[in-house]
Amino acid sequence: MSAKVRGVKGTRDVLPVDTYVKSDDPWLRIGHYHLIEQSARELFPLYGYREARTPILERTELFVRGIGAVTDIVGKEMYTFDDHGDMVSMRPENTASLVRAYVEHAVNQQEPETKWWYLGPMFRRERQQRGRYRQFTQIGIEAFGSPGPRIDAEQIELLDRWLRKLGIPFEMHLNTLGDGQCRPKYREALQAYLRAHSAELCEECNKRIETNPIRVLDCKNPKCQEVAAGAPKMEQYLCDPCRAHFEALQKALQALNVAYLTDPKLVRGLDYYTRTTYEAIATSGLGAQSTVAGGGRYDGLVRELGGPDVPGIGFAAGVERMALLVAQQGHDGATKPALFIAPLGDAEAARADQIAQQLRAAGLGVEVSFRKANPGNQLKRADALGARYALVLGDAELQSGRAKLKELKTGAQTEVALDALAGFLRGNA
Ligand code: HAM
């Protein structure tokens, strides 16, 4: 279902509006976005998170240093341009931006622990498919200054509660990537193993052996997966503090009754992670793009970006993926009017506009037809809008001050005085 704008190439974006406009992705509804956003606005402050907003454009260098030059995101997915001598990029994610803001505003000097949440569009030049878009929306949280593992557990519990509340079917996967002490030794062992198996790996993974070997572990190619299955495991290389952190995190999750699976393949696509990583993966309804939310600990990032030695941990969730799942729970995501008014002539139209004004002032949703169409077509429109009642306003109704309200679902008609509409609609909402 797509037509062309003359002379303008389409962006192949998604169009979340409301039920009566069909877009290429008929399941993305703005009402679902609102439901997800509203639940975050209510839930996150209960855990002490305060909303922070940062710019969409940042200097490219921030993402190169923050996310890592050899990641797919920085290597091939950023929208970057020259802004009169400054290279800038549209943010592909928000963690690096929040760390930049945290460092620039010396927030650590004002408070020892900081909890921020955010919502907004992110941009990655990816191959578009269901659940994967070039402009998408993330809702996320970041906590600075808390070394864990209790906060790690608190964040995972928050994510678990949020997704459950929205009826999203998922499993929580958990892993540890070690730290600057133990990961280099693991990386060497993994590289040695992968070099010995290079003939079995895909072209991309052959490059990754030298640049980013742990990413081979989550390659989707079946042959690479076979090699990955036999690879050395991070767990065998963890230093004592990292092992203690991971064990204490699992104990904390058990104490909070949060279900999780440990998953050694959960390596994440960004370079800043240390120790804890976690992802909520949909168990049905999303196909290939099944990761609803992902995150982890990034204890070296604030320092890497020029700040003090302050630890951090967070996650981001993809709102479009969540919206696709929420749609499958039977929420239809539409804002529906209580009443649709179809006036037949000019005098009726003026009266209809006044009635609509009064009802809206009383907090009721009303749509008035601005077209001249026969009552049958007007009722069809009322139905498509999902209106609860329709009212055809003709001369007889104006004269008598009474009209028949038609309930669209049942076809039942009720006669009501025009000046008693608000009370009737409220009583039958
Ligand atoms: P990420 O795993 O790259 O992590 O993205 C988080 C979530 O954003 C994904 O699980 C997915 O739901 C959604 N997402 C990513 N790319 C797309 C896309 N092209 N289309 C639709 N949805 C997408 C981060 O961005 C980290 N900043 C998370 C984090 C916060 N780590 C620590 N703090």
Q: What does the pLDDT look like over 244-270, one tens digit per residue?
A: 999 999 999 999 999 999 999 898 888
Pocket test residue of 298, 302, 321 for ligand 1, highest count of atoms within 8 A of CB? 321
* Nearest residue to 342 via CA among 379, 317, 308: 379
Question: Is the shortest distance between the CB of 321 and ligand 1 below 6 Å?
Answer: yes
- pLDDT score for 19: 56
**Ligand 1 atom nearest 131 alpha carbon:** 21
Q: Considering all CA atoms of the chain, what is the largest pairwise distance in Å, rounded to the nearest integer?
A: 91
DSSP state of 347: H
Q: Is a pLDDT exceeding 50 seen at residue 1? A: no
CB atoms within 10 A of CB 381: 17
pLDDT-wise least confident of 26-30, 72-76, 190-194, 335-339? 26-30
Does 333 have pLDDT greater than 80? no
28 lines ligand 1 (CB under 6 A): no
Per-residue confidence band for 102, with pLDDT thresholds at 50, 70 and 90: very high
DSSP letter assigned to residue 83: E
* Sole residue written with tokens 């609609």: 425
Determine the residue of 97, 291, 301, 326 to mutate for testing ligand 1's pocket, defined as the one with the most ligand atoms within 8 A of the Cβ atom.
291
Distance 290 CA to ligand 1 centre (A): 11
Q: Is any atom of ligand 1 closer than 6 Å to the C-beta of 285?
A: no
* Per-residue CA distances from 308 to 152, 185, 241, 251, 305 (Å): 21, 26, 21, 30, 9
Pairing of strands 170-176, 261-262: parallel
Is the pLDDT at 292 greater than 50? The verdict is yes
For residues 333 and 327, give the distance between their C-alpha atoms in angstroms, rounded to a whole number: 7
Q: Does any ligand 1 atom lie closer than 6 A to the CB of residue 291? A: yes
The residue whose CA is least distant from atom 1 of ligand 1 is: 294
pLDDT of residue 80: 97
> If you measure from the C-alpha of residue 273 to the centroid of ligand 1, how many angstroms do you get, rounded to a whole number?
14
pLDDT of residue 378: 93
Q: What is the pLDDT of residues 120-149, one digit of tens each?
A: 999 999 988 889 999 999 999 999 999 989
Which pTM value belongs to this model?
0.91
Alpha-carbon span 275 to 268, nearest angstrom: 12
The pLDDT tens digits for 203-245 are 999 999 999 899 999 898 999 999 999 999 999 999 999 999 9
Per-residue confidence (pLDDT) for residue 328, from 0 to 100: 87
Average pLDDT in the 291-296 region? 98
Q: Is the CB of residue 176 below 6 angstroms from any atom belonging to ligand 1? A: no
How far, in Å, from the CA of 352 to the mean position of ligand 1? 48
Low-confidence winner among 302-316, 327-341, 397-411 (lowest mean pLDDT): 327-341
Measured by CA distance, the residue closest to atom 10 of ligand 1 is 293
Q: Is the pLDDT of residue 360 over 70?
A: yes
For ligand 1, atom 13, which residue shows the shortest CA distance?
Answer: 318
74 alpha carbon to ligand 1 midpoint, in Å? 14
- Give me the percent of the chain exceeding a pLDDT of 90: 82
N-to-C CA span, the chain: 35
So what's the pLDDT on residue 417? 97
Banded model confidence at residue 18, pLDDT cuts 50, 70, 90 = low
